[in-house]
């Protein structure tokens, strides 16, 4: 088992319910949720002309690879109703891998730690709440 930290976000529909459904779907896919931060309402990041987000971080135990967790996260997003959207655009649910144990990866579609982990106050605040010291030097900036 590897301890991983995921960022969840929603700014369309019933945002709180979307976060709950994402946590349930993650459990169904094998993620054992250990703890979760409180939910924080935030201004949009990147594309500002859209509704406010609800965000939180969850700490999970995962038996598998980062790639398998990414696949599960993308399935959770699709099952939650996420459709193709512009980068940083509005979404029913967003699931980001923030940290995966002490691993560092830099691949085309998977960077761990998350490349913008140090740029988003709500991510750092949520991780601190779960006992993760930040700021973290992102893998994308080696």
Residue 31 CB-half CA count within 13 A: 30
Taking only the tens place, the pLDDT of each residue in 13-70 is: 999 999 999 999 999 999 999 999 999 999 887 777 889 999 999 999 999 999 999 9
Catalytic site residue from 23, 25, 91, 120: 91
What CATH architecture applies to the domain 2-141?
A: 2-Layer Sandwich (3.30)
Q: How many CA atoms lie within 13 A of 37 on its CB side?
A: 24
Q: Which two tokens stand for residue 117?
A: 């982990």
- Please tell me which residue in 15, 23, 96, 120 is annotated as part of the active site: 96
Taking the model in full, what pTM does it have? 0.89
94, 108, 109, 124: which is the annotated catalytic residue?
94
């Amino acid at each position: 088992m590897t301890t991983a930290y995921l960022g969840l976000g929603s700014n369309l529909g019933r945002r709180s319910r979307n976060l709950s459904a994402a946590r349930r779907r993650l459990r169904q896919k094998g993620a054992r949720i250990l703890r979760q931060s409180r939910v924080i309402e935030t201004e949009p990041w990147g594309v500002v002309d859209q509704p406010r987000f609800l965000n939180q971080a969850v700490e999970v135990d995962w038996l598998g690879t980062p790639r398998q967790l990414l696949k599960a996260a993308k399935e959770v997003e699709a099952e939650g109703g996420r459709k193709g959207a512009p980068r940083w655009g509005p979404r029913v649910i967003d699931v980001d891998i923030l940290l995966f144990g002490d691993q560092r990866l830099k691949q085309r579609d998977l960077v761990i730690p998350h490349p913008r982990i140090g740029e988003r106050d709500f991510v750092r605040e949520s991780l601190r709440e779960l006992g993760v010291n930040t700021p973290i030097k992102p893998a994308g900036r080696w």
